[in-house]
Amino acid sequence: MAEAEVDVDPVELEAEITDDDHMRGPRDAPLTLVEYADYQCEACITGFHAVEKLMETHGDRLLLVFRHFPLMSYHPMAMPGALAADAAGKQGRFWEMHANIFDADGEFDDDDIVRWAHELGLDVDQFDEDRHSEELEQEIRQVRLDGARSGVNGTPTFFLNNRRIDIPPEHEYLAGYVEHFLTHIGDGDLRGQSQARPS
């Protein structure tokens, strides 16, 4: 793949990765991609498919961290979706619920969430209790606030090795950045030409 021209914005992720994060991939991978996204955002749905493809092509060298950034004023099911994913995560099925939600292309309701919980074999009573807990919603709001403090500037926002990258959420751009970082990870040359999104 041709190396991409990249623009690494000098905005650094401040919200540290912890064991509470949703992670996929080798913990000792040379690259870590942190994604902040909203389950009803069209660009995030595109981003979901791009990241899934990226995990297929580069998953052996990439640790993926997904964090919620629900835009509740605009997307009424964004927070219920985030709560459902985290509640499923308490039973070890975060990524499956996450995929179900994104595969719904932004069109899902409470009945879908309950159906997915049954299909995943969750303890649905416990799942319901967890996803309706105020504590879990507060945790998600805190993740979102910490993301905003770190420089999240839209959904989705990606940080690659702690640096924000402003790109269209498509596989070719993500893969281009990943290739660039893998090439230059030792020499610190992580800047290039701008690829600002269209206004």
Partner 1 sequence: MDQLSVGDTAPDFELPVGPGESVRLSDKLAHHEHAVIAFFPAAWSPVCGDAVLVLEAVADELRRLGACIVGICPDNFWSTRAWAEHLGLSFPLASDFEPKGKVARSYGVFHDEGICQPAQFIVDEARRVEMAHIVPLGKSPGAHMILKRLEELRSRG
Among 8, 34, 64, 71, binds partner 1 (CB under 8 A): 71
- Residue 198 binds to partner 1 (criterion: CB under 8 A): yes
| Burial of 108 (C-beta count, 10 Å sphere; 0-12/13-18/19+) | buried
- Residue 145 binds to partner 1 (criterion: CB under 8 A): yes
CA distances (Å), origin 8, targets 3, 184, 195, 196 = 14, 12, 10, 11
**String of DSSP letters for 65-110:** EEEE---TTT-TTHHHHHHHHHHHHTTT-HHHHHHHHHHTTT---H
Helix (H, G, I), strand (E, B) or coil at 166: coil
Q: Which stretch binds partner 1 (CB under 8 A): 16-24, 57-65, 121-129, 189-197?
A: 189-197
Strands (E) across the chain are located at 8-12, 22-24, 31-37, 62-68, 157-160, 163-165
Residue with smaller CB distance to partner 1, 7 or 179:
7
Residue with smaller CB distance to partner 1, 86 or 166:
166
Q: How many CB atoms lie within 10 A of CB 170?
A: 15
> Per-residue x/- marks for partner 1, 16-55, CB under 8 A?
---------------------------x------------
Residue with smaller CB distance to partner 1, 116 or 177:
177
- Residue 73 binds to partner 1 (criterion: CB under 8 A): yes
Residue with smaller CB distance to partner 1, 146 or 172:
146
- Residue 152 binds to partner 1 (criterion: CB under 8 A): yes
- Residue 151 binds to partner 1 (criterion: CB under 8 A): yes
| Helix, strand, coil % in the chain, rounded to nearest 5 | 45, 15, 40
Among 118, 153, 185, 189, binds partner 1 (CB under 8 A): 153
Contact positions vs partner 1 (CB under 8 A): 11, 43, 69, 71-74, 144-145, 148-155, 166, 194, 196-199
